[in-house]
C-alpha cells in the first residue's frame, strides 16, 4: 500500500509595514513561512494557509502542480499569519474546507475580532488581507484521512503561543510542527515569557518522544532540510535566550548576546521583537 508524502512550500522573507522603530542592524522583514502538502495517490490536505492573498495564491499555484484533490486546509495555531490566507485559498480549492482544532479555532476567532479594532494585521499588510478574514471551522476529530491513511492532530500546547497543535503522519514518521519548532529562523518570544519558554521546551520534548524522521517547522529558511535536529536546535535556542535574558541589560545586549550564539539564523527582526518584549516584561515586573 502506498504511503503518504509530505512536501513543503516556503514563502521567503519579505518587507512589511512595521510600526516599530528599528535597531542597529535590524532588517525589518516578515519571517519566512511554510505550508505543507500531505498527499496520497489522489487526495491531499494543506497544513497552514499563511497570511495574505499573495501568500495564498503562491501556495495554490504550487499545490496545483501536484494534481491532487485538496480535501481540507488545516491550521497549526491561532496566529493570523498561519490562517489569514485561508479564505483566499478556498477560492482556489472549492472542494476543501478550512479547519482547525477547537483551541486553534478559538484563538483565530479572537484574533480576527481583535484585528477589527487594533488593525494589528491590517496595518502591517494594508490591502493584502481577505476582508473579512475567514476563520477556520472547528474540526471535530483528531484524525484526518488522506486516501484512507491517517494524519493525526497532536494537541501540543505551548509553542510561540499556547494552544498549538502538530500534525503527525505516522506512516512516514513525519511531524508538521507549526511554530513549536523553528528551522534556521530566529524564534518569536513576544508572547512567551520565561515560564512560557519552559513550557515550550516541554512541548518540544513531546515531539521528540514521537521519534520523527521528518520535522517541518512553521518558520524555516528557504531550502532548509526538514530534519529532526531542528527539535534540539529549537530547544537550545530557547534555553540560550533565557540564559542571556537573565543577565539583564538592554534590548541591544540581549540581541547581541543571541547573535553571538545564533547569528546564522534568518529574520533578525524577530529577535529584536522578542528582545523588546522581554525587556519590557522585566521592566514591568520591577514597577
Binding site for Zn ion (CB under 5 A): 79, 179
Task: Tell me which H or E stretch contains 238.
Answer: helix 229-246
For the CB of residue 239, give the shortest distance to Zn ion in the complex, in Å.
20
Take residue 245 and report the three cell numbers written for it: 535574558
| Nearest-CB residue for Zn ion | 179
For the CB of residue 82, give the shortest distance to Zn ion in the complex, in Å.
6
Give the pairing of strands 137-138 and 143-146: unpaired
DSSP 8-state assignment for residue 153? E
Residue 56 and residue 92 in contact, taking contact as beta carbons nearer than 8 Å: yes
Q: Which is nearer to Zn ion, 55 or 79 (CB)?
A: 79
For the CB of residue 76, give the shortest distance to Zn ion in the complex, in Å.
8
268 vs 266: CA distance, rounded Å: 6
Residue 204 and residue 177 in contact, taking contact as beta carbons nearer than 8 Å: no
Q: Which is nearer to Zn ion, 149 or 272 (CB)?
A: 272
Q: Which is nearer to Zn ion, 71 or 164 (CB)?
A: 164
Q: Which is nearer to Zn ion, 147 or 193 (CB)?
A: 193
Q: Helix 229-246 vs helix 268-286: angle between axes, to the nearest 10 degrees?
A: 40
Q: Which is nearer to Zn ion, 62 or 190 (CB)?
A: 190
For the CB of residue 24, give the shortest distance to Zn ion in the complex, in Å.
25
Picking from 131, 167, 133, the residue whose alpha carbon sits closest to that of residue 150 is 167
Q: Is 144 helix (H, G, I), strand (E, B) or coil?
A: strand
For the CB of residue 153, give the shortest distance to Zn ion in the complex, in Å.
18
Amino acid at each position: 500500500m502506498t504511503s503518504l508524502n509530505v512536501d513543503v512550500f516556503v514563502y521567503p522573507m519579505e518587507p512589511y509595514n512595521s510600526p516599530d522603530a528599528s535597531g542597529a542592524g535590524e532588517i525589518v522583514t516578515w519571517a519566512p513561512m511554510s505550508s505543507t502538502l500531505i498527499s496520497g495517490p489522489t487526495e491531499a490536505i494543506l497544513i497552514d494557509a499563511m497570511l495574505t492573498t499573495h501568500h495564498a495564491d503562491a501556495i495554490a499555484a504550487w499545490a496545483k502542480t501536484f494534481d491532487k484533490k485538496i480535501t481540507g486546509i488545516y491550521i497549526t495555531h491561532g496566529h493570523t499569519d498561519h490562517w489569514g490566507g485561508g479564505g483566499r485559498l478556498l477560492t482556489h480549492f472549492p472542494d476543501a474546507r478550512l479547519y482547525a482544532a477547537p483551541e486553534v479555532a478559538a484563538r483565530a476567532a479572537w484574533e480576527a475580532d481583535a484585528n477589527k479594532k487594533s488593525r494589528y494585521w491590517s496595518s502591517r499588510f494594508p490591502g493584502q488581507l481577505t476582508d473579512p478574514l475567514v476563520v477556520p471551522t472547528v474540526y471535530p476529530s483528531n484524525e484526518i484521512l488522506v486516501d484512507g491513511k491517517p494524519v493525526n492532530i497532536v494537541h501540543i500546547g505551548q509553542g510561540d503561543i499556547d494552544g498549538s497543535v502538530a500534525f503527525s503522519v505516522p506512516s512516514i514518521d513525519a511531524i508538521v510542527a507549526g511554530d513549536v519548532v523553528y528551522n534556521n529562523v530566529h524564534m518569536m518570544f513576544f508572547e512567551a515569557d520565561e515560564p512560557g519558554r519552559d513550557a515550550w521546551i516541554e512541548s518540544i520534548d513531546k515531539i521528540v518522544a514521537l521519534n520523527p524522521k521528518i520535522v517541518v517547522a512553521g518558520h524555516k529558511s528557504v531550502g532548509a532540510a526538514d530534519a529532526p535536529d531542528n527539535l534540539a536546535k529549537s530547544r537550545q535556542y530557547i534555553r540560550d535566550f533565557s540564559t542571556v535574558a537573565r543577565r539583564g541589560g538592554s534590548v541591544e545586549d540581549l540581541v547581541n548576546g543571541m547573535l553571538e550564539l545564533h547569528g546564522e539564523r534568518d529574520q533578525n527582526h524577530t529577535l529584536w521583537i522578542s528582545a523588546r518584549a522581554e525587556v519590557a516584561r522585566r521592566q514591568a515586573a520591577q514597577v
